Structure 1
Amino acid sequence: MEDDLSPSEEETRKAEISIDGYIRHAARATEVLGNRWMKDAACAREGMDPEDWFPKNSSDRKSREAARICFEECPVRLVCLRSVCLNPQLFGIFGGIGAGIRRAHKHDYEVLSKFETGYRN
């Protein structure tokens, strides 16, 4: 007897097509944009300390401040997040979200892009 919760072949095929389309779209966007978007990132601003984006402790004040800046001030936050979901990084704050949270959500852009904040007070 088939499990009622298992997806039908049609649902599985649609999901595979959707994922394939997403990957092709993201690959094309990366091909077209390259890394040019990085120059517009909040973390690339003059006076920003690169170490703030790669904290030793994800719950320290600097880490929370870096994530806040991403969410509130960075014009390319979602592009950055999409990039790190496609090319996972083990450390650092990308798109306002730390590596632990990205790993916990399996680098799923659709889930992570809905976060309203990437830090806890």
Structure 2
Amino acid sequence: MSFHEPSLWDKAKMGLIMGGSVGACLGCLIGFYSTMKFGPGPRGYLGTIGQYALGSGASFGFFMMIGSCIRTDEDLSLSAEDRSALKAQMHRYRWTGSTATYATPTAFYLAKAAKREAAEN
């Protein structure tokens, strides 16, 4: 059985659904508070709370969708040597709790991988 990573579209849909549901729940809470404090207005209770829920869900879902797309980056192919050096540095940092033990910053390895990838293309 092989595992395939979700595509960018799948991650965007997942961000939209998660953000929309969280935003709708938050909008319901805010709408309920608003109708209790200021009254329902001309739309009534359900219309006012629904308007808050839809507005909040749509905006939060949109931003979560954009955020999930931004976080889906192409993996810069690091060599085995660079990957093992990064793992060793992370292991050292985990046990010492200090950044002073880093021999080489992580950005060095990422820049090195980007240069290697640019040279290959």
The answer to which structure has the higher helix fraction is 2
Name which one, 1 or 2, has greater alpha-carbon Rg. 2
TM-score by length of 1: 0.29
TM-score by length of 2: 0.29
